[in-house]
Structure 1
């Protein structure tokens, strides 16, 4: 599988890369037209290395050089940090997708985020079964209207259910606490009890909020590539209290999640 992982900041991309022990960086990072720096990690540190369980002729089948192939055993993960917010995420992901020398099989929006009690305690990994633009719409005297209700566009992307099941299975077998649930994308991080209550009322099953997932999903969908969002919970969604944040714990959970995926899902066909 060829995977593009999009994060907001370097600390997140560093955790992802640290978890992908079997995927080894090759060459200097590539600077995208958007100015972002992409790290290229083929399985085993070189093109065409057969993944565990591959048939004996997988080296020939999996050869992947400049220009790429559609061979099933050319396992590659590219990781890029693109900045904070849905607009930056959409631009960075689009730049990576458009400039790649091969077609990606999967795009992952990854990082840390806020968790909604009681669904996602600190350190939990949330795997999206929906990527929701939670503030793309209009406020009215009668309540909030999503962009679909205004007659424009969409506010939800749905990852392939089979993919989320496989990711959840890998996390479960590795002992990583996780939940499969909607992840909200917001342009302003929630910091009050009133705003928290509004989001919970509109999205009662949501487990996390972050700022990039919907932008990444828009870019992936425009390029015809499946997308999923993976968030490690660093804080509870609610009144802002930085003393209660556990960013280090969340980054450790993110690293371990990608360690598990890097030896399972990312070595399989989608």
Structure 2
């Protein structure tokens, strides 16, 4: 049995900790800071860190890797097309790896960075997607193009409805405020905005999300919807020729929202 726990890091990062109850081994996803992971291991002294999974090269995702690797001997997996500190195995699209007895599929999702990958566990429908797909949002385009990010999000959106989305930041509330601006008459967005507002007031984490909920409330997965296209066309003063154009306009709007 695998338990998944969120370790908070910095102001709004989450390091996902996967715990194998039988073997007492853990894996972590994107440990930008070693301290939260070390604190957990010290509090659970009979557990061992065996694997480190990296989605992309940004410092808030890899900053703790080398210290954790040197102190625990954990194996580091990361994207082949990026420079990842301490990486033992370079991963490409479609590759499958075994971690804690689980098979994880690698999905290349360029956009936020050019080599960004996601990890998908098909039996449990778990998606560890770093800074590509967020709850009600998506990552900024630091390296890739709008077309690349749109295509990456479409790949993730094609996963099953029940897929649990384990992204790397607590951005949900601000993302939902933008989603509400894009679709002020979407009842699912309004209901989710109210719910997440209450959760955050209580100090409750808003993750994981679920893909069916993302398709209903995340504007970056809804570029084909008439309501979204009409809002973007109104803002831009012209009709959009494609979903890709709608997405690009949404991302530019969100950058200055």
The normalised TM-score by structure 2 is: 0.28
The normalised TM-score by structure 1 is: 0.27
Query: Quick one: higher RCO (CA 8 Å, sep 6+), 1 or 2?
Result: 1
> Which of the pair is proportionally richer in helix?
2
